[in-house]
């Protein structure tokens, strides 16, 4: 799953759960793993895309299957 797919999936879950706090928290975590130059999560940054997804993102993806 690409980052954009994961993002949209979590956003949909959040919406379908009537904006539950639990999904909001997971969504916030996912946002921190957006591949970008700032490198909020150094394993998921542009420079290290070879290591995307990190274990945190993998755990979220696993639960979404």
Tokens representing 65 are 């299957």
DSSP code for 36: -
DSSP code for 65: -
Q: Around Cβ 41, how many Cβ atoms within 10 Å?
A: 20
Residue 33 in the binding site for Zn ion (CB under 5 A):
yes
Q: Which is nearer to Zn ion, 11 or 40 (CB)?
A: 40
Stretch that binds Zn ion, among 4-12, 14-22, 23-31, 50-58 (CB under 5 A): 50-58
Residue 44 in the binding site for Zn ion (CB under 5 A):
yes
> Nearest approach, Cβ of 18 to Zn ion (angstroms)?
28
């Amino acid at each position: 799953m690409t980052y954009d797919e994961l993002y949209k999936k979590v956003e949909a879950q959040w919406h379908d759960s009537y904006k539950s706090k639990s999904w909001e928290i997971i969504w916030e975590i996912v946002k921190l793993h957006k591949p970008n130059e700032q490198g909020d999560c150094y394993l998921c940054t542009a420079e290290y895309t070879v290591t995307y997804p990190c274990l945190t993102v993998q755990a979220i993806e696993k639960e979404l299957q």
